[in-house]
């Protein structure tokens, strides 16, 4: 059974699975996941001589679920990570690992609080520096103004996506996990939808459980979202303007701590808008990038789809940070 702890992080109570002793490693999941997305990493990290801590981000699972959209700002979630360090190892510097939304969370936490975070590993999403404009403006220019569907625009209206997902969490989760995984056929993510359509329209339902997402795995995720709902998770996407304003004070600051990046070459989030090589872009903003690995045939769910390969890259790097 997981060793759950409820941690008073100051701004919120955060549920975490904590195993092992040694330097603190905090794992931060993305959308729509939970601490459980790190199930293949917790034990090996603990066995390697670290305190492995996989959290439920606020709004998810057993963590606090505050009622306002602004409660899910980057500033608040970075504060939660600092609070977890203060609670588990006061005065220490932790190592951060993040995937999907967890990646920009850990990148920004490392940039904002170098006094509390000494190294960072991100999966799926590169760090491209402090933004020059809110992402909502980019989405409008590339998608909405051209009457093209984009999932993050669909997420903006409070209640719209919640209604669709809460009505059948199992169908949403199974479909979404499959659609951007390495298992999905090429072209399975429809690019011809109009702006007024919803996320699930046109997505292919999965043929059944897979080695990386078993029926038991899906059952666990479904149970978590049946309990938490989707308001908190979706509200992370509703803070783009607020996050933009907050991050401007750090303009020009690079991430100088030792960094590692892992992604899949079939992950649509790795190169969401096309253009230059994301890793080359990241090197301008991450001055101590010690490795950037792109796994062939791997989709979006990096550490779940390829746990062995991820652990083989992650554990030696972690040990080098002692």
Q: Residue ranges of the alpha helices (H) in 29-73? A: 42-47
User: According to DSSP H, which parts of the chain are helical?
Assistant: 42-47, 74-88, 102-112, 135-142, 151-154, 160-166, 169-179, 215-228, 231-235, 240-247, 278-283, 302-305, 307-319
CB 145 within 8 A of CB 195: no
Q: Which residue, among 223, 287, 231, has the nearest Cα to 255 in the 3D structure? A: 287
Confidence (pLDDT) at 60 = 98
**What does each of the 322 residues of the chain score in pLDDT, given as a tens digit?**
899 999 999 999 999 999 999 999 999 999 999 999 999 999 999 999 999 999 999 999 999 999 999 999 999 999 999 999 999 999 999 999 999 999 999 999 999 999 999 999 999 999 999 999 999 999 999 999 999 999 999 999 999 999 999 999 999 999 999 999 999 998 888 889 999 999 999 999 999 999 999 999 999 999 999 999 999 999 999 999 999 999 999 999 999 999 999 999 999 999 876 778 999 999 999 999 999 999 999 999 999 999 999 999 999 999 999 9
Domain harbouring 281, CATH code: 3.40.50.1820
pLDDT for res 272: 78
40 labelled catalytic: no
Provide long-range contacts, Cβ within 8 A and 24+ apart, for 102-107.
102/27, 102/28, 102/29, 102/30, 102/57, 103/30, 103/127, 104/74, 105/28, 105/57, 105/74, 105/77, 105/78, 105/81, 106/28, 106/81, 107/255
Closest CA to 317 of 120, 64, 23: 120
pLDDT in tens, 46-104: 999 999 999 999 999 999 999 999 999 999 999 999 999 999 999 999 999 999 999 99
List the catalytic residue out of 29, 99, 127, 300: 300
Q: How far apart are CA 156 and CA 263, in angstroms?
A: 26
Quick check: is 100 catalytic? yes
Q: What are phi and psi of 102, to 5 degrees?
A: -60, -25
Number of domains in the chain: 1
Structure tokens at 267: 């992950």
Residues of the domain holding 140: 4-319
- Catalytically annotated residue among 100, 183, 243, 267: 100
How far apart (Å, rounded) are the C-alpha atoms in residues 38 and 30? 11
Q: Using one digit for the tens of pLDDT, what is the confidence trace for 146-158?
A: 999 999 999 999 9
Q: Which two tokens stand for residue 271?
A: 């190169």
| Contact predicate 41/310, CB 8 Å | yes
Q: Are 45 and 25 in contact (CB under 8 A)?
A: yes
Give the strands of the sheet with 13-19, arranged side by side. Answer: 4-8, 13-19, 51-55, 24-28, 94-99, 117-123, 259-264, 289-295
Neighbours of 174 (CB within 10 A): 20
CA distance 47 to 68: 39
Nearest to 225 by CA among 276, 173, 261, 289: 173
**CA-CA distance, 253 to 251, in Å (whole number)?**
6
Instruction: Supply the pLDDT for residue 186.
Output: 86
Locate the DSSP E strands across 124-184.
none
**Are the beta carbons of 270 and 305 closer than 8 angstroms?**
no
């Amino acid at each position: 059974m997981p060793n759950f702890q409820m941690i008073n992080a100051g701004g919120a109570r955060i549920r975490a699975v904590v195993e092992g002793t040694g330097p603190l490693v905090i794992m931060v999941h993305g959308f729509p996941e939970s601490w459980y997305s790190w199930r293949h990493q917790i034990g090996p990290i603990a066995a390697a001589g670290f305190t492995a801590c996989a959290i439920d981000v606020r709004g998810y699972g057993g963590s606090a679920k505050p009622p306002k959209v602004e409660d899910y700002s980057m500033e608040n979630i970075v504060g939660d990570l600092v609070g977890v360090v203060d609670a588990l190892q006061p005065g220490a510097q932790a190592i951060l690992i993040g995937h999907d939304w967890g990646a920009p969370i850990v990148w920004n936490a490392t940039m904002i609080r170098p006094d509390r975070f000494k190294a960072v590993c991100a999966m799926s999403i590169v760090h491209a520096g402090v933004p020059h404009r809110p992402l909502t403006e980019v989405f409008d220019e590339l998608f909405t103004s051209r009457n093209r569907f984009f999932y993050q625009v669909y997420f903006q209206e409070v209640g719209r996506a919640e209604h669709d997902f809460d009505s059948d969490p199992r169908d949403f989760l199974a479909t979404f996990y499959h659609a951007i995984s390495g298992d999905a056929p090429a072209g399975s993510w429809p690019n011809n939808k109009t702006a007024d359509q919803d996320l699930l329209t046109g997505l292919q339902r999965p043929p059944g459980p897979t080695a990386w997402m078993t029926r038991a795995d899906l059952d666990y995720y479904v149970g978590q979202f049946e309990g938490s709902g989707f308001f908190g998770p979706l509200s992370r996407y509703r803070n783009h303007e607020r996050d933009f304003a907050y991050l401007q004070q750090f303009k020009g600051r690079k991430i100088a701590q030792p960094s590692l990046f892992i992604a899949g070459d079939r992950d649509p989030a790795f190169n969401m808008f096309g253009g230059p090589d994301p890793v080359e872009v990241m090197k301008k903003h991450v001055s101590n990038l010690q490795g950037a690995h792109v796994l062939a045939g791997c989709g979006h769910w990096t550490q779940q789809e390829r746990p062995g390969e991820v652990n083989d890259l992650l554990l030696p790097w972690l040990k080098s940070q002692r």
